[in-house]
């Protein structure tokens, strides 16, 4: 296929549009068609193989970065915010000692004002660390936004290059089909050999063009996905800004207020804990007494062997005997069938061997 024939076989504007191309891409289509002069299957299988290399290389590079910095970092960071919101409260100060009755009194002496202030200092340090982590996550997401933009450009170029290879492949395929048609009816050895080569080349190239077209469609689907992921990253950046500027300062104020309410809450809970312990002790003793008496009576009235156990043993014994007998009957029937089948195969083999001998004679 020389240059003039290549240009004559190139697709029209409607076909170019369906592949995301324009007439300005015609020279590159003609250039991409040049390697197809070699119609050997090995060459046709490799056609267009370099079109997606840049996207694959960039994706591998991006995945290396994401894997090294923890793929779920953003989700974990949001989960950390929720976790701290639930755990960093002062309810731990109201936890009671396990010592009955006197435990709450001991806890009351422990829950001094100094310990509350010390606990708040630890909480404040955790909030500061969280703010630093959120800042690092924001910086990482900003980097991802730039990488997604670069990836979007690479995938767009891949989509265009795949379209160029599809157009060039279709042009060359049309030429091969036309050449095959001109050889129809020619029975000389050279024509038959050429038809065989053309038929193989058409099948291989048609499959390769179809694969490249599918890759182009996949690239086209990837473009909006990248934009969506990029938009999500931008929203996360905005969300973490809200967390740093609004949520965490609000936590500081609320924890400070909770410090003042902790003493009052402990006093109320102390009185209730004493009453609850007394009532729980008496209820538990009554329940234990009833449970022990009932279980003792039931155990004394129970027989050594339950009738259900004896019934189950009887049924299993009868069932086992019947199943063993049935297995024996089935085995005898199968052996009879196998013997009849062997006789039939022996007769069939003898008949066929005899027929072959007569024909050879």
pLDDT per residue as tens digits for the range 259-282: 778 777 777 777 788 888 888 888
**Any idea of the CA torsion for 118, 120, 121, 126, to the nearest 10 degrees?**
140
Is the pLDDT at 118 greater than 70? The verdict is no
**Rounded to the nearest 10 degrees, what angle do helices 113-182 and 189-242 cross at?**
160
Q: Which of 21-25, 79-83, 252-256 has the highest mean pLDDT?
A: 21-25
Is the pLDDT at 207 greater than 90? The verdict is yes
Buried b (16+ CB within 10 A) or exposed e, 46-85: ebbeebbeebeebeeeeeeeeeeeeeeebeebbeebeebe
Is the pLDDT at 203 greater than 80? The verdict is yes
DSSP assignment string, 28-94: HHHHHHGGGG---HHHHHHTTTTTTHHHHHHHHHHHHHHHHT-TTHHHHHHHHHHHHHHHSSGGGGG
Q: Sorting pLDDT into bands at 50, 70 and 90, what band is 215?
A: confident
The model's pLDDT over 134-148, given as tens digits with 9 standing for 90+, comes to: 888 888 888 888 888
Q: Which of 35-49, 79-93, 125-139, 193-207 has the highest mean pLDDT?
A: 193-207
pLDDT average, residue stretch 15-36 = 86
H helices present in 183-247, as ranges:
189-242
Is pTM beyond 0.85? Reply is no
* Mean pLDDT for the chain overall: 78
The model's pLDDT over 81-100, given as tens digits with 9 standing for 90+, comes to: 656 655 544 454 445 555 45
Structure tokens at 154: 């690479």
DSSP class of 111? S
Enumerate residues 6+ apart whose C-beta is below 8 A from 256.
Answer: 120
């Amino acid at each position: 296929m020389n240059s003039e024939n290549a240009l004559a076989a190139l697709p029209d504007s409607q076909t170019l549009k369906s592949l995301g191309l324009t007439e300005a891409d015609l020279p590159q289509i003609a250039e991409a068609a040049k390697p197809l002069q070699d119609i050997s299957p090995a060459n046709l299988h490799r056609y267009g193989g370099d079109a997606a290399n840049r996207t694959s290389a960039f994706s591998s590079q991006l995945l290396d970065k994401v894997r090294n910095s923890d793929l779920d970092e953003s989700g974990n960071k949001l989960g950390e915010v929720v976790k701290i919101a639930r755990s960093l409260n002062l309810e731990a100060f109201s936890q009671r000692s396990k010592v009955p009755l006197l435990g709450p009194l001991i806890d009351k002496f422990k829950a001094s004002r100094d310990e509350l202030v010390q606990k708040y200092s630890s909480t404040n340090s955790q909030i500061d660390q969280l703010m630093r982590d959120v800042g690092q996550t924001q910086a990482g997401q900003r980097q991802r936004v730039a990488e997604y933009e670069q990836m979007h450009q690479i995938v767009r170029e891949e989509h265009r290059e795949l379209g160029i290879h599809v157009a060039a492949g279709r042009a060359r395929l049309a030429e091969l089909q036309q050449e095959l048609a001109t050889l129809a009816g020619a029975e000389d050895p050279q024509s038959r050999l050429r038809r065989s080569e053309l038929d193989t080349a058409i099948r291989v190239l048609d499959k390769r063009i179809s694969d490249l077209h599918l890759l182009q469609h996949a690239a086209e689907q990837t473009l909006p996905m990248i934009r969506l992921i990029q938009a999500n990253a931008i929203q996360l950046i905005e969300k973490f800004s809200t967390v740093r500027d609004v949520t965490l300062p609000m936590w500081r104020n609320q924890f400070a207020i909770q410090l003042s309410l902790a003493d009052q809450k402990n006093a109320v809970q102390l009185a209730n804990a004493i009453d609850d312990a007394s009532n729980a002790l008496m209820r538990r003793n009554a329940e234990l007494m009833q449970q022990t008496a009932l279980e003792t009576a039931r155990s004394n009235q129970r027989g050594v062997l339950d009738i259900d156990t004896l019934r189950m043993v009887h049924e299993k014994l009868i069932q086992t005997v019947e199943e063993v007998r049935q297995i024996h009957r089935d085995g005898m029937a199968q052996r009879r069938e196998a013997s009849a089948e062997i006789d039939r195969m022996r007769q069939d083999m003898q008949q066929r061997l005899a027929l072959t001998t007569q024909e050879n004679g």
